[in-house]
Structure 1
């Protein structure tokens, strides 16, 4: 039975659990690849099943691709045949798209041209071949494209492929592949089984006049294709320039004068000795001549991006400290006879959803309720999304917040939510916003509307700017005195796909920021800095936390399709998502994928898709995954498998590491939850206290979490409330899955006004004069707590705070019973087999 009425004793669950676990058996059941067979018996997080590998790896090969000919190509011109050429793109070997010559007026063009790529067979090498019809007036027409997995080739073989280009058998592209092993070539790779970091080189460039005058005004363009920095504009004598690029690529430095682009100097970088200054003269027709000083060095050997799937060392150390606090709190709350051993201490988490000011206010009330019951110290994690992150960001400015009475912070909150917000757009404020945004741009942060929203949001919640930063919250964790906060966001695409089709969970903690899907994390103070191939290339000052709050509650990066999803029944979208997941599972990584030219109807559909998915106010921050490549077996990695849920997961050339910037969005445009960080198996959470602030559907978002987990194979209890509970939800509901003991128990608190109407406090019935104080309007429409409301009346803020606190305190016995069962469950899991 998935749903257990909390009014009945939970000790029955514990007895049945002990029976189901089969204490004394040789091995506990393990149905999920994320869990090792014996992980349920460990108190500490298990090691990542595939730790990062760093070694000199053989497998370098020379790939020769010979584009032969095409047959029966379509023509965009009704009068003459096409003028066709083929482009080749293999981003694991070369940043540029190579191109054949153009064969004119032929539907059966013959190119017979060869191209060479130096590849590493440890990577997922996907080559894209595209056929274009050249047009001298408009942009070239894309006719056909082919995706080919180079990993299907074997060294030493000559393979002739005839790719079908449509339903007609005569329409095809003929390409010849030859893969030759280079046994003497090895490469330093660092991999976690999903992402791969390769060796990096750094090129320093100085331009100097050879004449008498210094600092010429001549503008010079410098470029190293595939480098992190991209093309750079310089003045002669204006200083030095730096380029970071993959050491294994055959790159060249290109220098030319903007006034005379035909005069160009090209320097093959492989010919430069490491660590030595090389001086060249650029013999331009302009005076004075230019001297170029070059120095190539090895890039930073150590990665700034942590490639690992489990919690970082700092989080594991925190958990050890926090368990001592939790053990004492549980002993007191549950009146235990003896002390809990470390392996008997369960991991309890509080999960808060989004909901604007409503979520922030309610979370204050519920945390005050947990503190009143003496249960706040039993919690190891608190996760937040959207509006609930505002509450956490405020509280964690005080390193001792959970050890103090929350009356003071709550009164400050009431002052902020009830104050007039008219001044946030006053001319003086706007000038301040402009000055700070200009300074961020000067430092190197990409400009975007989300930064302006962050400053406006800060003005809504505070009277003055706060200098607090996320990494400073580590002080609140130094002795394990508070739970570890984790803030959630979604990474999306700037256009082409809705969040529903491409949304990757990102988590922010005081220790690290990263993507569980990729097993890639950076220290929180480095978020916003520039990275390439896992190395830090430009460190920027850590942003104030308001800019992260703007990301966590970023409603403005949405597109029209996201808004349609948000305003409609999510069930319809999730039906389509489940179908897409089934298709993705069948296709895996495409060994061969052919895309034909869209028809007229298809082009119209593409136009409307682009209109619906374009994000006019997209968020932008430097992508710390940029440049990293994919392991050849990344798709089967258990961590990637658990979190892959987008249309592009089987197409590594289109995933996040290829993007220069991240596009982060409020999680509410997919699922209004902050649950995913708690489902990481290495965090090993026993009980989730789910705090839901949605006004429509007490179980809707939790059911979406359950559906997501079911499709992904992530342990999570079925969320199947009874019909009468859907009609009239109670204050507290328990969800379990006894068939999967690795699943956490979920104690769900929807935002409802149930017995609060009749009771001002647990067991204290309201007098007739107090009846009005028990009427809290939580209707989906017209409620004073609607997400669009940024100012509450003092009466409404008091009601919401009292209601949320009451709902926790009125279920003290249910909370205590759930904690007892969590302790029992942890003891049973930790008991060694006989």
Structure 2
């Protein structure tokens, strides 16, 4: 089946045009942008309103709280309504998911912020609720380590199980920027063929540069030759956040995480369960058996073994556990995912299609694996660089570890390779470790790019590296003091540069 034209609901759409619903949303949002510009005496006609995208990079909880405060400061300055698109990867998507829980969040951001911070400073999700959620995830056709990551890791940081879906939110955000969540196709990460850049919006999910999409409500369902074959439930927001932030989904880091993070958490949670069930007394009688103890011991035995032996080991070990065959089946499924490094597996909606405009590599496999885009480029540039989105100004907030210009340089390098308009990037080498707080890059027939490193010499003094170390990617979950400190630093990057932002917004408006 060739699908060069938009298809019926529930079928694949091949084409570079924007989804009709996105076009309508963006058209309404441009009215808001126009009114915002007029308040600053920036004059332009409705058809010449500049398209401005705000990007949030990865960076774990640091990115989550820093993006939140950046938006708050834009709101206080009256500039939030200038933003047409809000796109994020990894930790920034945690912030986005929290915001878009609230209908028209941008109209009441201070209140929404307080609610989010109160939750992040709170006790978190109970182990009982985590187990219940994990059992639900086990029922999926395509269970993977991303489901474990969602329940064991993401909930520890975001302190909730968000079971909304993007489809649930479609009609709740008439006054907010249009959200784009960005991930990558793992199989395309290191290959020349294919398209790694994958976007998920309230209306469509698909390959940004190839132009191959399916309705978001159908993403994850089984397709054959462009038509839906088997319906699967739409992913919820907890799982979406896990896909976006699966930073250990590539390489041996997976195994280190299993040993260093998940197993201690499992043990700690099981101990807590025992205390809750016995009134604080961890001893128990033989009349109160705990299958979890046996599961934990088997997991420890397996973790200490070579990963390649895991599947074979479970064939004999797990069926003997208390809890019967269901427990054994779940254990086997989990260990298979660990041994084979399976993350973010979903049915491939392009399977068995025939279309010359789609790379053959994307058509063959029945499943695809989707992982954290930060494993390739830690900022969602390619979600907003689609020609059809016609972006004039990109405001890139960089919350990355290490060199604060890596995302920018990699984006420029990839754009040059793919012939995508992007300004030249030239940053003095000495500023790699001691960046300023505001950079502007311009090029002919290319969007203007504003790059704002989180930790810099303006808001952190002469040692921004110390701040990056203190708030490293695996630090956390943050306590209230850490949240406040990161938000203060992030807020200064916006509040100190309002006039510079206005200058660039005015420039792109006049140029358009």
TM-score category of the 2 structures, normalised to the smaller one: 0.7 to 0.9
- Whether the 8 Å contact between 2:342 and 2:369 is mirrored in structure 1 is no
User: Partner residue of 1:676?
Assistant: 382
CA distance in 2: counterparts of 1:555 and 1:722, whole angstroms: 29
Q: What is the correspondence of 1:487-502 to structure 2 with a 5 Å cutoff?
A: 487-493=181-187, 498=190
Pick from 358, 369, 388 the counterpart of residue 663 of structure 1: 369
1:375-390 aligned at under 5 Å gives the runs: 375-390=79-94
* Distance across 2 between alignment mates of 1:357 and 1:302: 37
Give the 5 Å matches for 1:775-794.
778-781=466-469, 783=470, 785-794=471-480
Check whether the contact 1:302–1:535 (CA below 8 A) recurs between aligned residues: no
Which whole-Å deviations, capped at 9, do the CAs of 1:726-784 have from their partners, x for residues lacking one? 353111000001xx22x1000110112433358xxxxxxxxxxxxxxx99775444x1x
Question: Which one has the bigger helix percentage?
Answer: 2
- Verify: 1:540 aligned to 2:232, yes or no: yes
- The alpha carbon displacement at 1:453 in A equals 1.4
The match for 2:496 is 810
State the secondary structure of the residue aligned to 1:629: coil
Q: Does the 8 Å contact 2:195/2:207 carry over to 1?
A: no
* Alpha carbons 2:434, 2:464 under 8 Å: kept: no
How many residue pairs match? The answer is 432
Higher RCO (CA 8 Å, separation ≥ 6 residues): 2
8 Å Cα contact 1:555/1:665 also seen in 2: yes
SS at match of 1:805: helix
Matched, 1:359 2:63: yes
Measure, in 2, the Cα distance between the counterparts of 1:471 and 1:536.
18
- Which residue is equivalent to 2:36? 329
| 1:453 to 2:149 alignment | yes
Residues 153-193 of structure 1: per-residue CA shift (max 9 Å, x gap): xxxxxxxxxxxxxxxxxxxxxxxxxxxxxxxxxxxx53439
Going from structure 1 to structure 2, the CA distance change for 1:532 and 1:809 (only over 3 Å counts) comes to same
* Residue ranges of structure 2 left out of the alignment (5+ in a row): 257-307, 309-338
Pair 1:627 & 2:374 matched = no
Listed as ranges, the matches of 1:229-240 within 5 Å are none
Q: Residues 795 and 664 of structure 1: is their aligned pair in 2 closer, same or farther, counting only changes over 3 Å?
A: same
Q: What does 1:445-594 correspond to in 2, within 5 Å?
A: 445-477=141-173, 479=174, 481-493=175-187, 498=190, 504-560=196-252
Which runs of 5 or more residues in structure 1 are unaligned?
Answer: 1-188, 198-300, 565-606, 608-613, 635-639, 641-648, 759-773, 827-834
1: CA distance, partners of 2:60 / 2:170? 25
In structure 2, relative to structure 1, the CA distance for the partners of 1:615 and 1:376 (3 Å cut) is farther
Instruction: Report if the CA contact (8 A) 2:3-2:12 is conserved.
Output: no
Equivalent-residue separation in structure 2 for 1:503 and 1:378 (angstroms):
31
Q: Matched residues in 1 for 2:412 and 2:390: separation?
A: 17
- Displacement, 1:503? 6.3
Per-residue CA deviations over 1:201-260 (Å, capped at 9, x if unaligned) read: xxxxxxxxxxxxxxxxxxxxxxxxxxxxxxxxxxxxxxxxxxxxxxxxxxxxxxxxxxxx
Contact 2:134 2:147 in 1 (8 A): no
1:316 aligns with 2:23: yes
**Cα 1:429–1:673 shift into 2, 3 Å:** same
Whole-Å Cα distance in 2 between the matches of residues 492 and 695 of structure 1? Answer: 21
Question: Could you say if the C-alpha distance between residues 469 and 416 of structure 1 is closer, same or farther in structure 2, counting changes exceeding 3 Å?
Answer: same
Following TM superposition, by how much is the alpha carbon of 1:324 offset from its aligned partner in structure 2, in angstroms? 0.7
Tell me the CA shift for residue 623 of structure 1: 1.1
Counterparts of residues 6-85 of structure 1 (less than 5 Å): none
TM-score, normalising length: structure 1: 0.49
Q: Is the 8 A contact 1:619 1:663 kept in 2?
A: yes
Q: 1:312 Cα shift?
A: 0.9
Q: CA RMSD, aligned part only?
A: 3.0
Normalized per residue, the structure richer in strand is 1
The corresponding residue for 1:747 is: 450
Deviation at 1:544, TM superposition (A): 1.6
Distance 1:803 1:728, change over 3 A: same
The CA distance in 1 between the partners of 2:431 and 2:489, in whole Å, is 20
The runs of 4+ residues in structure 1 deviating greater than 6 Å are 499-503, 561-564, 774-777
